[in-house]
Amino acid sequence: MIDLSSRKNQMFPVLSVQQIETAKQFALGEPKSFRPGETVSRIGESNVPAWLVLSGTMEIDRHDGLASETTIVTHEVGHISGEVSQLSGRPGLAGARAGPDGCVAVAFDALHLKTLVIGSAEIGEIIMRAFILRRVALIDSGGAGSILIGVPGSRSLVRLQEFLTRSGYPYLVLDAASSAEGLALIERLGISSTELPLMVCPNGTVLKSPSDAEAAVCLGITPVLDPNLIYDVAIVGAGPSGLAAAVYAASEGLSVIVLDQRAVGGQAGASSRIENYLGFPTGISGQALAGRALNQALKFGAEIALPLQVQTLVEPAAGALGGSLMLRLDNGSEVVARTVVVATGARYRRPDIPAITDLEGSGVSYWASAIEAKICENDDVVLVGGGNSAGQAIAYLASRVRTLHLVIRRDLSETMSSYLIDRIAAFSNVVVHLGCQVTALTEDALSGRVTATVTDTKANVSTDIDARKVFMFIGADPNTDWVADLIETDSKGFITTGTDLTNEFRRVDRPPFPLETSMPNVFAIGDVRSGSTKRVAAAVGEGAGVVSQIHSALKTTVNGPASAPSVAVQLSVK
């Protein structure tokens, strides 16, 4: 549990009289009166505005398990309601009703709220801090969001937990075998074991064994895309580089959409602790870093569409100088943009072990999150890999598990930073299997435990290790399958850009920009780019740097930039 008691004044700040008058200039319409006890908004309702209370009180409720609700806070004069959902118009995680004496409040929908946050730096800082802390509190409370009913540790339940965690959405897990609430719902709906886990969304919708995409639609994470809208920038990939590009592009007035087939953060989002990122001397988790970047992008008006997979990129017709690019998505929709930024990073490399795909999501994991750590608590695990990502995972898991068997082919000094090596050496429960590799994996269907066969490649001697889970950190391959036939890549599949292009750039009126691919107006940044430095800071730098090149590219198109000015000046102030 996270103790936020000392930050209540930041979670529920009271605006001064002067701040209230400033905020009212950005409001949507005139103040509205609510009768005592009148419903202002319901849990799970979409496009709920934030309300600034001018008189009276407003009571905010959240779900408390399946059957009841509990009051979070009573907003008084100077309080503003809402949390992160209000920045995007997505379904709210809390409901609101007027207090016993009624209330008068003024509304800020998503657009007006972002205009206020950007237009008044002082008030914007107060609101953003409050909204983020409120979301953290909702996540910590669990029952405020979705209710998951299933078998703890099962593959499908863990997958949903990972998706909701990475997406920053609260949830509560009820054991399908022992929870009275969960059993009652299962019995009432006549649910079979094959239909588990159940997911009860905040609006009351019940999903049976949903996919990530189905869960996202129910939660409003996946927006309805306007087929007639032409964006200035479509960013494919919501890792550090893609989010950085979104923040800088949106803050400079470009219309931006970010697409990712999973969740925000990319590989970095699964990192338990990033300790060499500038400005965070005590380190920061990849999820926390991604969450902050996401909120910044939303603040400046970027649209985030998850989880949607881009299937292909369609280039303009021959001779159509400055023509728009089209992205076709796996749900049948299309996104049209004047420029495209490929920030798809890399996917986890799968070792050549028979039937390993059957164990993924249960006995085999490619990341080490708090969910996996809890499953493996005080048990034995196997971890394969010797890079920095592996080192961070070892340092995170070793303090929680009984024994961590580290399987590596080469000495750690050849592949891992010294600070991580020193930290690993301090753990007495890390057993190093040097010069070895995992050659076979078998899973016990009843217990879910895994037997890893570890083979010494020189002595050709094998040992079986019984473990709760096996973690694979053996590198990654570029996510370029969807564009490999359209733009130039190097021998390893990474996208070449700028002066590294070996083929002729496909236009004659200018040379390619440094981060531009062989297709005009298509850029590549971060880990997916050939020659990039595979570090979070470098990815963020490229995400920021590509925006100036996008501006230059848009100046050479027929129609120029498509967007209106940034949200800070889209609306006239009353």
Structure tokens at 317: 């017709």
pLDDT tens digits along 319-340: 444 578 999 999 999 999 999 9
How far apart, in whole angstroms, are the C-alpha atoms of residue 468 and residue 62?
A: 36
Instruction: Judge whether 573 lies within some domain.
Output: no
pLDDT tens digits along 190-215: 999 899 999 999 989 999 999 999 99
* Structural domains counted in the chain: 4
Domain match, 124 and 15 both: yes
Instruction: Judge whether 493 lies within some domain.
Output: yes
Instruction: Judge whether 215 lies within some domain.
Output: yes
**What is the CATH classification number for the domain harbouring 31?**
2.60.120.10
Domain match, 173 and 249 both: no
pLDDT tens digits along 86-118: 999 999 999 999 999 999 999 999 999 999 999
Q: Which of 219, 239, 254 is the last residue of a domain?
A: 219
pLDDT tens digits along 134-144: 999 998 887 78
Instruction: Judge whether 224 lies within some domain.
Output: no
Domain match, 12 and 134 both: yes
Domain match, 137 and 151 both: no
Domain match, 41 and 127 both: yes
Domain match, 397 and 440 both: yes
pTM, rounded to two decimals: 0.89
Give the mean pLDDT of 559-567: 49
Q: Is the CB of residue 249 less than 8 Å from the CB of residue 547?
A: yes
Domain match, 337 and 388 both: no
Q: What is the 3-state secondary structure (H, E, C) of 484-502?
A: CCCCCECCCCCECCHHHCC
Q: Which of 141, 176, 195 is the last residue of a domain?
A: 141
Domain match, 13 and 127 both: yes
Instruction: Judge whether 225 lies within some domain.
Output: no
Domain match, 323 and 424 both: no
Q: Is the CB of residue 399 less than 8 Å from the CB of residue 426?
A: no
How far apart, in whole angstroms, are the C-alpha atoms of residue 58 and residue 36?
A: 9
Beta-strand relationship, 450-456 and 461-467: antiparallel
CA dihedral (330, 331, 336, 339) positive or negative: negative
Structure tokens at 527: 């880990």
Question: Cis peptide before 354, with omega less than 30 degrees from 0?
Answer: no
Domain match, 64 and 95 both: yes
- Is residue 277 pLDDT above 70, yes or no? yes
Q: Which of 474, 495, 530 is the last residue of a domain?
A: 474
Domain match, 211 and 84 both: no
pLDDT tens digits along 170-190: 999 999 999 998 999 999 999
Domain match, 504 and 412 both: no
How far apart, in whole angstroms, are the C-alpha atoms of residue 50 and residue 58?
A: 12
Instruction: Judge whether 571 lies within some domain.
Output: no
Instruction: Judge whether 9 lies within some domain.
Output: yes
Tell me the one-letter amino acid at 311.
Q
Instruction: Judge whether 38 lies within some domain.
Output: yes
DSSP 215-251: HHHHHT-SPPP-TT-EEEEEEE--SHHHHHHHHHHHH
Domain interval for residue 417: 356-474
Give the mean pLDDT of 410-427: 94
**What is the CATH classification number for the domain harbouring 400?**
3.50.50.60
